[in-house]
A = this chain, B = another copy of it.
Amino acid sequence: MYERKIPEDLDCGINITMKVLSGKWKPCIIDSIHKGVRRPVEIHAAIPAAAPRVINMQLRELEEFGIVTKKVFPDSVPLKVEYYLTPIGESVMPVIRAIERWGDENKEYVITTSATMESAGK
């Protein structure tokens, strides 16, 4: 990870969750794994917009936080790796679901609003 220079305030729960979930692709990664997408290549395929390197790094961070665990099959060739959600990882799913649901329900609105914003003042 990076070395923080600005201290973070972990007072309110919002910031705690954000510390774990912040990362452009982390919620998507968690959601994918929850859906049963376990192998790195599959995760990359599921989120093509993200560079593989970024997904690797965010997976590592999620692993450090105990959100996911990594299972390596040392004898299989080509090398096989699988990621699973830990119980803590499972416990964030309601949060991800809430985020996803709101987004799905307000997709139209957000897209048209942000389009309007761009054509107006920027």
B19 and A110 contacting across the interface, CB-CB below 8 Å? yes
A13 and B113 contacting across the interface, CB-CB below 8 Å? no
Residues from chain B with Cβ under 8 Å of A1 in the complex: 117, 122
B14 and A96 contacting across the interface, CB-CB below 8 Å? yes
Interface check A81, CB cutoff 8 A: no
Q: How many residues of A contact B (CB 8 A)?
A: 44
Residues from chain B with Cβ under 8 Å of A95 in the complex: 98-99, 102
Q: CB within 8 Å of B: which residues of A?
A: 1, 3, 9-10, 12-21, 27-28, 31, 49, 64-66, 88, 91-92, 94-96, 98-107, 109-111, 113-114, 117, 122
Q: Given A16-B103, A16-B110, A17-B103 in contact, is the A9-B98 Cβ separation under 8 Å?
A: no
